[in-house]
Amino acid sequence: MSDAERKIIVDDDWKAQAQREKERLAQEVQERPALPDPSFAEIVNIIAMQALVGLGMMAGAGGERIPADLPVAKHFIDLLQTLDDKTRSNLTAEEKSLIDQVLYELRMRFVQAAGGGAERGPAIAP
């Protein structure tokens, strides 16, 4: 068999493999559950989770506690405050209650962590 014939066979094999991979990926996308509609609560949750990481209240993949980084925690708490300020008068009563409650809780945990006071509680696994 000449080199040209082998190259064509390899090329056909590659095309068949690429097609199978494309079909497999399409199948995975179809089987994946639909994502929920974006919401204000989801935005608050994402930012709050980052603040909790900064407070050292989250566990890593192996279950070990992630060390606290208070400047990072403060940044994300301030980011939530900015979100609250910028959305003032545009939130439903439920959304306003959510962000107020989350800000209060994060600030209390920050004060505890900064003061070296009470135990931070168990780390939250990812």
The arithmetic mean of pLDDT across residues 100-118, rounded, is: 90
**Which pTM does this prediction carry?**
0.67
| pLDDT tens track for 65-105 | 889 999 999 999 999 999 999 999 999 999 999 999 999 99
| Identity of residue 29 | V
Q: What is the pLDDT of residue 126?
A: 45
Angstrom distances, CA of residue 82 to CA of 46, 79, 124:
14, 5, 25
Mark residue 88 as left, alpha or beta (left: phi above 0; alpha: psi -120 to 50; beta: remaining).
beta
**Residues 82, 84: Cα–Cα separation, whole Å:** 5
| Identity of residue 4 | A
| pLDDT tens track for 7-55 | 555 566 777 888 888 888 878 777 778 888 999 999 999 999 999 999 9
